[in-house]
Structure 1
């Protein structure tokens, strides 16, 4: 059985894991690819799985055309898997497929490749059948598939984001993680993590980021398991080197001095907080479970421990007022972050934000509202204008300020426009299938 797994642009950890299971445990002839130029591989395979992570992937004309080409051969079955499987009705109506592999596919994919239907969504007599699987897999799989050129890829500065656990305790309305992976924390055995790190290092990987949504939740059992988290970070660091390890993603309510000092001592010494807004009212609507005082305290604690802090912010949320936005600008002044990332609010199917967007009129949604303020000469939508303005504002209040040159301003303007265009495409697609979602 020849199986191709396509992972768009990067070798995602999920695609590497499924590939390893199919190859090592089931002896399939598996190849993992990240570009669409290898048509012969696709056409000469028994099964092709498209591992997709974003709603935008569904609208990608190159992906659509490749799927159509494969299906014309008449001999290859084509499936879609990954986080987009949360909305199979949209995928099956937009792409010509044999089915969508639902949820976490480690247990079901081997059966589906043999023709099974458990864990699959598919058309039958013009009706969509969804065979959901409630059971969540334990993270005790033996080997990931490591592509030969893995050391050449860069994902936010790392060659790979390595999964140590799944699940999130949060209820953020814009996030798909707890909806997809659940709110129970499932952690990998330390021995398996260390074996993967050693294998990645042998293959030439020189920068690893520890992932899982919130790094400190590793082995969470009703409370933070600091000792296990610190042991894991220290052990990984001893193999790959602290200068080659990052543990970026953290919630401000699941850190303390012990955890931050371990990040300082055993990694490159950065954390990435999802702050999202400087407005307590908007943070409540987002169900962040935190507030501006907690956010500022977490930033201060990290800096006192000698850890650099990056923060992410979301603009253009349907509930974000002009006053909320101005509070975010004020927060950035007070926080003095070391780095800042700005993104426009994206409605991901399966999230509360998606439903909020679909219940908001176009003319009241910043994604479609025409900006009439100081950047109107650029023809921006309101979410684009806020993203652009906050990017520029942030540069003046980072710990290491940059001079805003014309070239830098142009880069930020193009980034804001690109985000705006992408989110409009996604939103329009979701309105097309509103009845499936609401």
Structure 2
């Protein structure tokens, strides 16, 4: 058996812990690490969540020894991974059922062509074997790091995966491209056993992951399954306590009284809606499948159950005009949410938005369009700053705007601007 290290660069992401658990149950000596310092193994699994990681950790990954395998969301574009990283293999999509084949390859007992979902360099460039979803949602318990309790990812120690897939068509989202549009839910007893394992290792705060939390147990034939969702929350909260459980990332068209009542009863009492825009035209361009009226109705319904409501907004989407932005600003003002998340539209590999920006002239992309305000690099950055600033006034309990807060907002939007400019350049290089 081999000595294997599973590496995540910045946080212990859930997928890496699952892969480490599979390796452990195959009999390998497995170590899971956050950061690359001191990694010295025969085989290294590298989980990369963001396109920017290909640049940020390029030098250290390319210096590493051993058989190096890359997985995670970046695997949706293996050619991009190989353009920046000198690694042996990229595993596309879901990886639990492919780990054993990877270890056989690393030991020299098979060829790359024999490993489903594997992408590798060949004489003719990058060769990609066909991939498919895992045949089962069953899996070993994750290998949980001893310091998991110190993690803080948007307020949670860990995001627990309850299901995979989303029937939505949002142009900026990787979830349907990575996991498909058919919703596959895990058995409640498996999820609860996993939560117990994390609790035993020190994790305290939990969030439900899977794209849209309320899709758990649903199907394209039955829609939302409120009873299955309620059973899920009840089972988890019996282990975590309701104050330590949250259900982030919910579509406004995938809630009803039954699921909101369950969130009120079994969680910390927050819902996080993906609102994105107040412009009907931009929502159509995003293929979001919702309207501003549905947003208002969903927020009002959540408040009927005593829930706190947060909303995410996207600005700087290609073709966004000043009128579209103003409609978003007006909707954000009208809603008076308890918290706001504002981001500049990020073109992720494998998404329609990612494909669009490859050929989009700079003068048509708000991320590159010059702002009339010299303080900002672009129209997108200025809009993100103004919306985020105004959100502190809009919210249910207004927050005083101090010089320190102004600086933190400016630093946040400048970081987003630079990040998205870089990612766009990376996509255009590949295109």
Common fold: TM-score over 0.5: yes
The aligned counterpart of 1:217 is 215
Residues 28-47 of structure 1: CA deviation (Å, up to 9, x unaligned): 1111111122x2xx23x111
The DSSP-based 3-state class of the residue aligned with 1:170 is coil
Aligned partners of 1:257, 1:68: CA distance in 2, in Å?
Answer: 52
Listed as ranges, the matches of 1:253-272 within 5 Å are 253-272=253-272
Contact 2:205 2:244 in 1 (8 A): yes
1:81 aligns to 2:71 (yes or no)? yes
- In structure 2, distance between residues paired with 1:154 and 1:137: 32
Any conservation in 2 of the 1:316–1:344 contact (CA below 8 Å)?
Answer: yes
Q: C-alpha displacement at 1:379, in angstroms?
A: 3.8
Query: Does the alignment pair 1:96 with 2:108?
Result: no
Alignment: residue pair count:
420
Check whether the contact 2:96–2:134 (CA below 8 A) recurs between aligned residues. no
The residue that corresponds to 1:55 in the other structure is 51
Is 1:391 paired with 2:381?
no
Partner of 1:132: 130
User: Any gaps of 5 or more consecutive residues in structure 2?
Assistant: none
Tell me which residue corresponds to 2:42: 46
- SS of the residue aligned with 1:110? helix
For 1:67 and 1:284, locate their aligned partners in 2 and report how far apart those are by CA, in whole Å. 40
Distance of 1:426 and 1:128 partners within structure 2: 21
> Aligned partners of 2:240 and 2:83: how far apart in 1?
45
Residues 2-401 of structure 1 mapped to structure 2, 5 A cutoff: 2-24=3-25, 26-37=26-37, 39=38, 42-43=39-40, 45-60=41-56, 63-71=57-65, 76-115=66-105, 116=110, 117=112, 118=115, 119-221=117-219, 222=221, 223-372=223-372, 376-401=373-398
Match of 2:97, SS state, is coil
Q: Using the alignment, how far apart are the partners of 2:398 and 2:348 within structure 1?
A: 33
Identify which of 399, 403, 407 aligns with 2:404. 407
> How far apart in 2 are the matches of 1:175 and 1:196?
27
Shift of 1:202: 1.4
Q: Could you tell me how far apart the structure 2 residues matched to 1:67 and 1:260 are?
A: 44
Larger mean CA deviation between 354-363 and 86-95 belongs to 354-363
> For 1:95 and 1:237, how far apart are their aligned partners in 2?
42
String of CA shifts for 1:233-279, please: whole Å, max 9, x gaps: 01111111001111122111111111101101110000100000000
Q: In the TM superposition, what whole-angstrom CA distance separates every residue of 1:136-174 from its partner, at most 9, and x where no partner exists?
A: 332111211111100010010010000000001100000
**CA shift digits 1:107-137 (9 cap, x unpaired):** 1122112205322111111421100222433
The CA deviation string for residues 182-241 of structure 1, in whole angstroms up to 9 with x for no partner, is: 001111111111111111111121111111111111111322111111011011111110
Alpha-carbon separation, structure 1, partners of 2:90 and 2:130: 11
> 1:272-330, CA deviations, whole angstroms, 9 ceiling, x for partnerless residues?
00000000111011011100000110000001111111000001111211110000000
Secondary structure at the aligned position of 2:314 is classed as strand
Distance (whole Å) between structure 2 residues aligned to residue 33 and residue 422 of structure 1 = 25
> Residues 62-82 of structure 1, C-alpha deviation per residue, up to 9 Å, x if partnerless?
x222222224xxxx1111111
Q: Which moved more, 1:94-103 or 1:125-134?
A: 125-134
- Asked whether the equivalents of residues 94 and 133 of structure 2 are also in contact (C-alpha less than 8 Å), the reply is no
SS of the residue corresponding to residue 341 of structure 1 reads: strand
Instruction: Give ranges in structure 1 of 5+ residues lacking alignment.
Output: none
- The answer to whether the 8 A contact 2:308-2:338 is kept is yes
Specify the SS of the correspondent of 1:184.
Answer: coil
Q: Any idea what SS the aligned residue of 1:377 has?
A: coil
SS in structure 1 opposite 2:374? helix
Residues 21 and 141, structure 2, Cα contact 8 Å, conserved in 1:
yes
Residues 342 and 388, structure 2, Cα contact 8 Å, conserved in 1: yes
Q: For the Cα contact (< 8 Å) 1:139–1:188, is it kept in 2? A: yes
* Partners of 1:90 and 1:239 in 2: CA distance: 41
Deviates more, 1:290-299 or 1:350-359: 350-359
